[in-house]
Structure 1
Amino acid sequence: MYTVFNLTSYLKISTPTAYTLKNSSNIQNGINFGYGGTGLFKTLFDGPNLTVQIDSFEQLIKQNVYNKSDVESSIFLVNSGGNDYVAFAVKDRNLFGIKKFMKSLIAEFSVNIRRIQNLGAQKIIVSLLPPAGCVPLISAVSLYNKCFDLLNSVTSNHNTMLLQVEQDLNKEFGKSVVRTLDIYSSFQSTIQTIQENRKDNSTLMNPLEPCCASLSAGYGCGNVDEKGNKKYTLCEKPELSFFWDSLHPSQNGWYSIFKQLEASLSLIIGGEI
């Protein structure tokens, strides 16, 4: 996730090494256990979920790759289940059971955060979910004119429950171990700012529109047909886009979001690395 890169840039350290490269790279600046498309439960992608990722971290501690001091002085960045909701939506195809699923997801997340703390972590940053109704895959139904409020309410409710977990766990730990990174508000604020600026500058790109877009159903950004013909279009100035494809912010998008997070990161980290 681009947030990892931005966080390490803010701390002025190298980006953490991917776990798969742990034996061939410098791991003193940390390890990124994240695996694209995975979540807390089983998702649409076959990869290690958060529990397995923590297993891998625990194994490194047992192997003395990281000692107690390393763990206690580290910052842990954990994401909170966006891919799980995608898997739920694809499998259930409705939102009637979303509340029950949300509760189970938050409960599982709480278990995992508690486990990380039990391994010695003293500073855990939890990333709130961004507004799901603003991704181009969803805003396309409005011709990229507005976000879909119903889906935004799902991620907003998730974040509210997650904030309660933060309070409960910190009370249990007896100190402020868990902090949250408000990606949701930063997403919305950035999008709204760009939309306001477009009123005076029509050359700015619509923030809800993807830079790399599919030309027809069944194809995605970067896809070609059996003859090698491109089945996608690319915007004129990718460096000015907010969303790269139908789901993911562009580098510029993440940069804009992160600029709004710098002040809160300073408070979260407390000036200490």
Structure 2
Amino acid sequence: MKLSKPLFFFSFIFLLTTGNPAGVHASAGYNGSKKNGINGLRPTKLFVFGDSYADTGNNGRSVAFSWKQPYGITFPGKPSGRFSDGRVLTDFIVARFLGVKSPIPYKWMKYAPRRLQYGVNFAFGGTGVFDTPFPAPNMNTQIDFLHKLINDSVYTNTDLQSSMALVTLAGNDYATYLIKNGTNEGLSAYISTVVNKLAANMKRLHDLGVKKVSVTSLEPLGCLPRTTVRSSFRQCNDTENMGVALHNSLLQETVARLNSQTADSPYFILDLFSPFITVIKQQKKLKSVEGGRRFETPLKPCCMGVSEEYKCSDVDKKGMKMYTICSDPNAAFFWDHVHPTQAGWRAVYDALKATLHEQVVF
């Protein structure tokens, strides 16, 4: 696939900000009591790697806007480090599908060691498979954190055999490419490099002993509010989504190849692209799962700056809010310029349930 149009489709700001990892030694055990119908057992632990679409609080309070008002107003009622008004994809997968508590963010492990029995969330906002301008650990380093916990006997082989990995990549590597003056001519090759590195990380997780490894496809970047604002939130940018199509196509090929090389076919894709597009196309036909409401203007964020120079959570020198919030976050698909609301993530999760039921069976 050749990309003949200019390199505008990755002209978006980084999805997140930075974090500060910490380590701890604790114990964790296997609880194989959750049955998946008559077919087998569901995982009892989730290990999470990636960026803001999965992060539940690893980024530093002093630098991440996810720790500022009005983030977290729906859940837990105050900022919790999640880049949403409430729960994110990680929370829905564990609570709704696995039936366990959300894994503790890596940064907070020492404060709640008992939560290690449910896994660990290593995802940091602003990260990618490669280094980004933000000092957040890339995906390879995040996997190093898990490797150390294994070496320290925090998790046993039995624990890992009852686990699943969630890997998210929402675009920060491509933003980095743009910032570093990457060319349109070299973009196709760079996308291939990103996908290959992503595949190497997935294989490493399985080699460490993780039973199932899921990876998200890239969401339609051209439909994020930071792009659709140019059309008054009326339409997506098809040019931006061309690059997304190439990434997702290569990812499908790569995951198929990994499974062909592995006896138990442990790798699978959680398709984010299709649910995002479905919500956008159906608009008023699609009901929000929260309160029976509808996403009437799905391309418009609930929380946004009062002008282009401000974003959700910004305040002026006097502490005055420089953002507005919609009357009902449950009726909005997007929370801010790039992240879904809790209701939005619930709609995405509902679309992913069939894949989870089909793929996550021991």
TM-score bracket for this pair, using the shorter chain length: over 0.9
Which residue matches 1:4?
90
Higher relative contact order (CA 8 A, sep 6+): 2
Residue 11 of structure 1 aligns with an amino acid whose one-letter code is L
Q: CA deviation at 1:197?
A: 5.7
Which residue matches 1:173?
262
Q: Residues 143-183 of structure 1, C-alpha deviation per residue, up to 9 Å, x if partnerless? A: 11111111112112111111111111111112311011111
Taking structure 1 as the reference length, what is the TM-score of the superposition? Answer: 0.92
| % same residue | 33
Which residue matches 2:346?
255
Counterpart check, 1:144 vs 2:233: yes
After superposition, residues 93-242 of structure 1 pair within 5 angstroms as 95-196=184-285, 205-242=296-333
After superposition, residues 73-84 of structure 1 pair within 5 angstroms as 73-80=162-169, 82-84=171-173
Are the aligned partners of 2:295 and 2:333 in contact in 1 as well (CA < 8 Å)? no
Q: Residues 85-113 of structure 1, C-alpha deviation per residue, up to 9 Å, x if partnerless? A: 22223333764432121011112112111
Equivalent in 172, 178, 181 of residue 89 of structure 1: 178
Structure 2: segments with no counterpart, 5+ residues: 1-53, 55-87, 288-293
Aligned with 1:213: secondary structure? strand
Structure 1: segments with no counterpart, 5+ residues: none
Are the aligned partners of 2:333 and 2:341 in contact in 1 as well (CA < 8 Å)? yes
Residue 246 of structure 2 aligns with an amino acid whose one-letter code is N
Residue 240 of structure 1 aligns with an amino acid whose one-letter code is A
Residue 15 of structure 1 aligns with an amino acid whose one-letter code is S
CA separation of 1:80 and 1:197: change in aligned 2, threshold 3 A? closer
Are the aligned partners of 1:37 and 1:83 in contact in 2 as well (CA < 8 Å)? yes
Taking structure 2 as the reference length, what is the TM-score of the superposition? Answer: 0.70
Give the aligned CA root-mean-square deviation in angstroms.
1.8
CA separation of 1:96 and 1:141: change in aligned 2, threshold 3 A? farther
Aligned with 1:76: secondary structure? strand
What is the CA–CA distance in structure 2 between the aligned matches of 1:208 and 1:144, rounded to whole Å?
A: 5
Residue 42 of structure 1 aligns with an amino acid whose one-letter code is D
What is the CA–CA distance in structure 1 between the aligned matches of 2:305 and 2:181, rounded to whole Å?
A: 25
Q: CA deviation at 1:190?
A: 1.8
Equivalent in 13, 17, 21 of residue 108 of structure 2: 21
Higher helix share: 1
What is the CA–CA distance in structure 1 between the aligned matches of 2:338 and 2:179, rounded to whole Å?
A: 15
Residue 282 of structure 2 aligns with an amino acid whose one-letter code is T
Moved over 3 A (4+): 93-96, 195-198
What is the CA–CA distance in structure 2 between the aligned matches of 1:257 and 1:60, rounded to whole Å?
A: 31
Q: CA deviation at 1:229?
A: 2.3
Aligned with 2:340: secondary structure? coil
